[in-house]
Amino acid sequence: MKSHTEYLTFNTEKRREYINITDEVETALEKSGIKEGIVMVGAMHITASVYINDAESGLIQDIDEWLDSLAPCGKDYRHHRTGEDNGDAHLKNLLLHHQVIIPVTDGKLDFGPWQQVYYAEFDGRRRKRVIIKIIGE
Amino acid sequence: MKSHTEYLTFNTEKRREYINITDEVETALEKSGIKEGIVMVGAMHITASVYINDAESGLIQDIDEWLDSLAPCGKDYRHHRTGEDNGDAHLKNLLLHHQVIIPVTDGKLDFGPWQQVYYAEFDGRRRKRVIIKIIGE
Amino acid sequence: MKSHTEYLTFNTEKRREYINITDEVETALEKSGIKEGIVMVGAMHITASVYINDAESGLIQDIDEWLDSLAPCGKDYRHHRTGEDNGDAHLKNLLLHHQVIIPVTDGKLDFGPWQQVYYAEFDGRRRKRVIIKIIGE
């Protein structure tokens, strides 16, 4: 079994941002030389997510509004008694999840026609990391 | 390390449908000959999900109504300005997730007593695919 | 490829409980001797979850209230016609998900600074199990 590990770093300008990282994942896969296996892509933080969906700007705004309707910012969360103000970002992370697993076949991400990998930042304007872990042969 | 890849194809009659695919996943595992490892089962589309829960018809209706209460169809999503009408199906995909990972022990899906694998279609009546990727030994 | 499998058992006093299992996962990883690979940690039940987030007691209460606002207990679910009363626990399981995948690098869980693994029980006061499956080399 071979394995390959990479870390991406983000420091977004806005508090919430959605960044297409499909190219970075593909580049890591090429570097790994792995032809059959899986890629795990995961946020290393509890206020950010990695998800797979469409690269359509209207939909990304829909997703952002929908997440904020189900896990609203500005609420008086108990977590804020610690001095934090990001309770909503923790809940958004749980809703979208922090990780995806992508199958690798013939050295490629084995994706359907519209699948793209996104990093979703919910508490940005500081240094955050994503891990890409590839295992296979 | 061994690996095995299969694709299932669906073309549902209804727009939303929930299909038990546990037997198909077990058959793929038998064909693979893999005794220890993991199975990844994932929708290759961004308007469908794969999840693990109970094979109880009342519960499946509960799940369908619950998904539609949290990510309602018929809303005026920004995504619809592209000509699409399936904004809710994208959000339902994000809520349920598109994939599961199942552990394999002694050549069997290492499941608890009630775990069953389901394909959840949110924008059907057309050809959609699921990937089954098994890695192990 | 090496693999290692362990099962944790829970029998909570309360119906809903959130238990930090990071130490148990780290101990399983040490026992496995695996240095590079992945760990899958998953509830073997459809009324419990495994998730990764912060070990902060206020936040855990926020998560519990939030889950119950989106998937309320006490509702008249169709699933209850079978004699069960845990429809909400099934929906909470779907919302939080039953499993996580953790990357392993240099023999350690490759986590960011605040990531902790939690078992979330939604229908406790009986024997439930979690599987830890580690594959790698």
Cβ atoms of B59 and B115 closer than 8 Å: no
Whole-angstrom distance, CA of residue B40 vs CA of residue A110? 12
Give the residue from A134, A2, B40, B137 showing the smallest Cα distance to C137. Answer: A2
Cross-chain Cβ contact A54/B99 below 8 Å: no
Residue C47: predicted pLDDT = 98
pLDDT tier at A49, thresholds 50, 70, 90: very high
* A51: its two tokens: 């998800």
C114 CB-near residues (< 8 Å, 6+ apart): A45, A46, C54, C55
Verify whether the Cβ–Cβ distance A1 to C115 is below 8 Å.
no
**How many angstroms away from the CA of C137 is the closest CA of chain A?**
7
| Token digits of residue A98 | 């922090």
pLDDT for B72: 98
CA closest to B100 among chain A residues: A101
What is the predicted pLDDT for the residue at B100?
98
Beta-carbon separation of A46 and C52 below 8 A: yes
What is the ipTM, given to two decimal places? 0.96
Cα–chain-centroid distance for residue B49? 4
Q: Is C5 on the interface with B (CB under 8 A)?
A: yes
Contact B5 A110 (CB under 8 A): yes
Looking at residue A129, its amino acid is R
Beta bridge partners of B101: B40
CB contact under 8 A, C136 and A133: no
Chain A touched by B126 (CB under 8 Å): no
Q: Across the interface, which of A61, A70, A136 has its CB nearest the CB of B70?
A: A70
Q: Which chains pack against C, by 3+ Cβ pairs within 8 A?
A: A, B
Q: What residues in C contact B137, CB-CB < 8 Å?
A: 1, 3
Categorize the per-residue pLDDT at C4 as very low, low, confident or very high, splitting at 50, 70 and 90: very high
* pLDDT tens across the length of chain B (137 residues): 999 999 999 999 999 999 999 999 999 999 999 999 999 999 999 999 999 999 999 999 999 999 999 999 999 999 999 999 999 999 999 999 999 999 999 999 999 999 999 999 999 999 999 999 999 99
Chain C CB contacts of A101 under 8 Å are: 101
> What pLDDT digit, counting tens, does each position of A63-110 carry?
999 999 999 999 999 999 999 999 999 999 999 999 999 999 999 999
Q: pLDDT of C87-125, one tens digit each?
A: 999 999 999 999 999 999 999 999 999 999 999 999 999
**Per-residue pLDDT, C39:** 98
Q: In angstroms, rounded to a whole number, what is the distance separating the alpha carbons of residues B41 and B26?
A: 11
Chain B hits for C40, Cβ within 8 Å: 38, 101, 103
pLDDT at B106: 98
**Is residue A77 within 8 angstroms of chain C, CB to CB?**
yes
| Closest by Cβ to A59, choosing from B43, B78, B95 | B78
Nearest Cα residue in chain B from A70: B70
Report the residue of chain A nearest B86, measured CA to CA: A59
Mean pLDDT, residues C22-26? 98
Q: pLDDT-based confidence at C128, cuts 50/70/90?
A: very high
Whether chain C has a CB inside 8 Å of the CB on B70: the answer is yes
B87 interfacial to chain A (CB closer than 8 Å): yes
Do residues A132 and A64 touch, judged by C-beta distance below 8 A?
Answer: no
Predicted local distance difference test score (pLDDT) of residue A24: 98
pLDDT tens digits along B31-59: 999 999 999 999 999 999 999 999 999 99
A-C contacts at Cβ under 8 angstroms: 88
Show the tokens assigned to A14. Answer: 């806005």
Instruction: Work out the percent of chain A whose per-residue pLDDT is above 70.
Output: 100
DSSP label at A107?
T
Whether chain B has a CB inside 8 Å of the CB on A112: the answer is: yes
Locate the chain A residue with the closest alpha carbon to C35.
Answer: A3
A100–chain B Cβ distance below 8 A for any pair: yes
* Contact call for A137 and B95, based on CB within 8 A: no
Find the closest chain C residue to B111 by CA distance. Answer: C44
